[in-house]
Every structure is written in structure tokens, then in C-alpha cells.
Structure 1
Amino acid sequence: MDSGAVETASTGAVWSSPSAEPRSISVGKEVFCNRSLNMRNITAVGFDMDYTLAQYKPETFESLAYYGTIEKLVKDLRYPEELLTWEFDWKYMVRGLVLDKKRGNILKMDRHKYVKVAYHGFKELSKEEKVAAYGSTLIRDSFDEPDYALIDTLFSLGEAYLFAQLVDFIDKNPGKVPAGTDYPLMYRDVRSAVDLCHRDGTLKRMVAKDPAR
């Protein structure tokens, strides 16, 4: 990854809306959920236990997943070894972004699905480029699978960052990736490598070496 992309990525604030320091809110002004839920037709309830029994350190845990994923890409999926020198900025991505697998873009949208910010890899798209790709009216893409992926968990931040790095890399070095690799295939490779890290115990072994870390 070239120094320009690294410099751009390290800013870490491009997705954040301008705001002041976090403010404490009195209980009287907090918003609580008070809607009832009819469970008559619900036969089972599942719980996601992440961040409940144990509080992960996201900067450490996501780094382990990121580097484990790169190792799988290089050793199992024939990506170039120079990927092993890449670094991860865990503060760069935020939850709520949308990944455009077809175009290699990362999107920030408002509640009306208007694309407010779009990056191709680490390069910001101009207003004209955004309109050309996603339109400027309320009649837009649904932004659903299979062409899009929602970055909605802390665990997806690392793979989204890696995807952005790979987009920059494939644009500048098309001959260095496996033949026939395009953005959608590249995303599938990243997902496969991430899943393999979890499935074959790679990530668990890395955590077990130093749980306190």
C-alpha cells in the first residue's frame, strides 16, 4: 500500500459527523424504548453474547482478526506477500457504513438512503461521481445484498478497512492479484478468509496466547 493511501487512512475521522465532546445526559432527558412486542408467533429467541460475558478491547481484537485474515489471503488464496506488511487503523471505519462490493466503494448514507460521503478505497468521490453512481433523487438503489454489505458490527470494521486497502491495491497493481480478481470476488475472498480465521481456531489461538492483551 503506498504512503499516500496510508496517510489518507490514518486520519480516522472522515466518516464522523462534526460534533462536540460527548455530553452527559440527565436521566430525565434520555429516550427509553416503551413499545410492546407481540411474541405470539415467535418460537425461539436468540442472543448474541459478544461484549457481554467478556469486554473485548476492539483495537486489539480487530487487529488480530485483520492480520489473521491477511495471512489467510496470502497463504491460502494466493494474494501477494507484500500484504503482510500492511497496517490496520482500527479507528478509521465506523459502524453504519455501507460497502458497495460491485464498485469498490464505502458509503455513508442518511436515513433517506442519500449517499452523503463515498470513498473508492481511500479516495473520496466527487459530487459528480456520487450522483453518476447512486443518483440524486429518492429513487435509488435498495443498498441490499448481494451487491452491498452493511458494516454493522465491530467485527466487520477490520474486513471493511482491508477491503478498502485492497481496492487501492488492485487499482494500482492489477497484475499482482490472482487472475480474474475483481471487487466482488475480492470481497468474497476477504469474507472467506475472515470466516476461516474463526472456523479453524486461528483467532482463538491468537487470543489464548495473551488473554489480558
Structure 2
Amino acid sequence: MLLCKLIVSSTLKLSLRLLEKQKCGGVLEFQRCHSINRLESAYQAIRDKCDSKKLPKDVEIKAVFACNELDLKEVKVYGFDYDYTLACYKPSMDYLLYNLGRQTLIEQFKYPKAIGELHYKPGFAIRGLHYDIEKGILLKLDSFLQIQFGSVYRGLTPLSNEEVLQVYKNRIIPIAYVEARTELEQDAYTKMVQLADLFSVPEMTLLCNVADYFERNHIDFHPEILFRDVKNSFRNSHPVMHKIVEQNVSEYIKHSEDLRLFFNRLVAADKKLFLVTNSPYRFVNKGMAMLIGNDWKDYFDVIIVQARKPRFFTEKSRPIRVFDEQSGTHVWDRVMKLEKGKIYYEGTVKQLQDMTGWRGHQVLYFGDHPYSDLADVTLEHGWRTGAIINELTHEIETLNRTDFKQNANWLQMLTQLIEEHQDCEDPNEQRVLAKWMQERDHIRNEIKFVFNEQFGSVFRTYHNPTYFSRRLFRFADIYTSNITNLLNYSVNHTFYPRRGVMPHEYSSYFV
């Protein structure tokens, strides 16, 4: 009798399972098939959970962030770039560079005078974008070299996803298209260039403005010729910019009350200081005098101007020369040692290291450019590095907004909900999932637009780090928005990177 009951019970359970399987459209794992009501209940439960969730704490705007462990007790020598590292420029600098570049295009390169009416568009471009020289397209790439849809522009016109795929045939850009394969190709022609410093932002804005003018007026042009003309116009404009800024430094450089205090602390701790910049001496002297005082040179053990980075870090045999302040020229004397109080010109990092003995992890160098400032000294010379990223202030202010935190929380939870319920095949259920996907796309765009309407955050695409972020985190041990933020830490502080969550660790007990 017991055996019969077991057989009947098993048969009944099997029949119910087959019936459930049939209702679910033949899906083997029938448990994943949910009714519309069940999907709506799951959505509401997650929505309620999100609404009750405590929002994360604000990020400290003046914090220093660690990509790699850095013990400042080991650092004996502090080195600095000048532009956008010690001297942080006001928005007026962007307007000045843009206007000078536009004027040079008209006067020297004989572009139509009508482009003189094309005004600077603040907030159009951001740092870290790539410009396709061959196709005349400005776009944003993530750390996997994927194009971020919705952030691709020809001139001032955004390209649709379909247009992007028509141009590139693929969402992923081949690495050979973006990066030089060998060191010998670094200065050679590449199909894409990256806006890795803030001086490039007004340059790209002018480039897109002029391209848009040509497109609107049906004027045929070669994208590469336009790119190189704009690039050369900005290069030719820099000496003019230097003279203008020298005459009215406070109009273009942000005042810093803490920079002198920061240097005083380093000197009191018996640290050595040096300056290596691409800018000319008169320009640097005027800026540093405003920021620190006329005695600014007393803080530095070595000062090198017009270093022509990244060649300063890569070339082996370029002699260092003395710059004579009185005559404003370079003398021909052989430099056998680097003396405090003198101004030097060009040279190489090899000479700097050989003459000072400053090497390896005892040197911490700060700059704003991940490549020309930080990459080579990290990879080739073992220096420790710090990146000064001025945009970090805006990025963190945005992260701290209540609406951003709420959207970011809901995006994470909605994405997980979609992932867990995506395998049902019933058409009605698929329509519910499609609504969820539309909502997810809407939230992703809202999160993007609060950083920059065209290109979003400097540091991430919808879900991945940007190409710029990948390079920054690779070459910088620490990064922050302003050099004086280091005053919030002692000279013996150790910066520890946070343990990141890898995909396979997401649900583990130690996350």
C-alpha cells in the first residue's frame, strides 16, 4: 500500500511539473517563469527597499585618493609640474586660448572670417575624449575601448547609435587605431588622439565649432587638415597667451592661500623640492610670484623650464642649459651640477637623477597629464606619482547630490532585478521587462547628464571606467583635485587603496 501511495504521489508531482513547464513556454528552469503580477510585486518590493535605503555619506571634496599604497615617510623629494598643478587657471583661460586660436586660424591659415562669430561653448567638451583625425569625430571610449553611445559627435551634432555603427562597423575600436604599438611610434601619425590635459578642451571646442560651420554651409573640408590647422593655431597662440597672462596674472590664475603654507611644511620636514615644466621662465615667474611671493625660487632646489615633456623623460642625450634671467637667453656653459637659485632649460631626467642622486621611490612627482607627466617616470624610473585633476571638484560635488545618490542606488537595484528576471519567455512578461529596460536607460542618461550634458563624467561611462580613468589609475599612485589638499595629511601619512570588488567577489562574505 505504501509503495502504491509513493508511486501515485510521484506521478502527480511529475504531472504538475510538466503542466507548469507547458505554461512557461517550455523553459527548462520553469521556476524563472513569473506571472506579470509576480514581476510587478518584485519590482515594488525592490522599489520600497531602495526608498528605505540609507544614502551613502558624502565624499570629501578635498580628499586624496589612492590607486596604490604610498608611504610618504619614504618620500624625500617632491617634484611638481606648473600648469594645472601649482597654477590652476580660471575659466577665462579657456576663453583666451579659444579666441587666440580662432584669430590665428583666420589671420595665419586664412580661414573664413565668418568663423570669428563662432564663440566658445563652455562645458561642451571634457578631458579624456578621443578625436578621430580621419573621420572628424569626437567620442568617448571606456577602459575596454568601447564607444559610449550617446557621446559621439561630428562637429556639434550628436551621432545616433546607428550612425556610429555605420561609421565604425563595431562598437569596439581596435587597439591599433588608438594606441601606438611601440615606443618608436609615439610621435608618429595615429588615427586617434586623446584630450589628456585641460588645455585641449578649448582646442577641441574650436575644432568642433569650425567643423560644424563647414557642415552647415556645405563647405568641403578634409578632417585631418582641419585638425592639424587647429592644433598648430593653438601651438602658435601659446606665446601670445603667455604675454597676456604675464600682464594680468590674477585675471587668469586662481589665488591660493595655502600653497606657500604647503611648501613651508615640506621644507620644515627637510624635503627637497624641484620644478619641471614646459612653460617659459617669465610666464612661470609671474605666476609663482602671485601664488607664493617673489621669493618663490628659494623653496626649490632645482628649477627646470621649457623641459619639453614628455621628451624630458624619454630622451637620453639632450644637454641641460642655464637660463640667464637678466638677458632672458640660454648660455652655452657646460652644466656639471645643478645649483639652487639657478634656472635651467631643457635637459633630461637622466641628467637630473645623475646630478642629484634623486631616484626611485624616494621621488614623488605631481602633474596633471597622465602621459607626459606621470607615465614614463612611473614605468621607466620607478618614481611615485600624484595626479592633480581639477575636475574632481565638480565630479565629487555631483556625486554628493541627493538626486544623484538616489538615482545611482535605484540603477544598481533595478539592474539586479532585470538580471534576475530576464529569462522568462512569455510575451507579456517580456513587455514588463522591456519597460524596466527603458527605465534603466532613462536613469543612466540622467546620471550622465548631471556631469556633462554631452559626454558625462570624466571618470566613467554608463558602467565602466573611461579610457582616461584606466590610464590615470595605472600611472598615478594618488590623485586629488588640488595640490594643497595634501595639507590635510601629515608628511608621514600612508595612503592605502581601498579593496575593490571584482565581479566574482560581488556576493562573497568578505565584500
Aligned pair in 2 of structure 1 residues 30, 157: CA closer, same or farther (>3 Å)? Answer: closer
Please say if 1:114 is aligned against 2:152.
Answer: no
What does 1:1-213 align with in structure 2 at a 5 Å threshold?
24-25=58-59, 31-34=65-68, 47-57=80-90, 59-116=91-148, 117-136=151-170, 138=172, 140=174, 142-144=177-179, 146-175=190-219, 181-198=221-238, 201-213=239-251
Aligned pair in 2 of structure 1 residues 50, 139: CA closer, same or farther (>3 Å)? Answer: closer
Q: Deviations over 1:153-179 (max 9, x none)?
A: 11000010111111111223355x8xx
- TM-score between the two structures when normalised by the length of structure 2: 0.32
Alpha-carbon distance in 2 for matches of 1:182, 1:114:
26
Aligned pair in 2 of structure 1 residues 33, 115: CA closer, same or farther (>3 Å)? Answer: closer
Alpha-carbon distance in 1 for matches of 2:242, 2:170:
45
Aligned pair in 2 of structure 1 residues 139, 54: CA closer, same or farther (>3 Å)? Answer: closer
Residue identity (%): 26
Task: Report the structure number with the largest CA radius of gyration.
Answer: 2
Structure 2 unaligned segments of length 5 or more: list them. Answer: 1-56, 71-78, 180-188, 252-511
Across the aligned residues of Structure 1 and Structure 2, the Cα RMSD in angstroms comes to 2.7
Alpha-carbon distance in 2 for matches of 1:151, 1:194:
14
TM-superposed CA distance for 1:83, in Å, is 1.6
Larger helix percent: 2
Q: Is the 8 A contact 1:134 1:140 kept in 2?
A: no
Q: Is the 8 A contact 2:147 2:173 kept in 1?
A: no
Alpha-carbon distance in 1 for matches of 2:155, 2:141:
17
Q: Deviations over 1:166-194 (max 9, x none)?
A: 1111223355x8xxx41100000001111
Correspondence for 1:4: none
- TM-score between the two structures when normalised by the length of structure 1: 0.72
Q: Is the 8 A contact 1:105 1:120 kept in 2?
A: yes
Alpha-carbon distance in 2 for matches of 1:196, 1:87:
20
Aligned residues: 175
Structure 1 unaligned segments of length 5 or more: list them. Answer: 1-22, 37-45
TM-superposed CA distance for 1:35, in Å, is 5.2
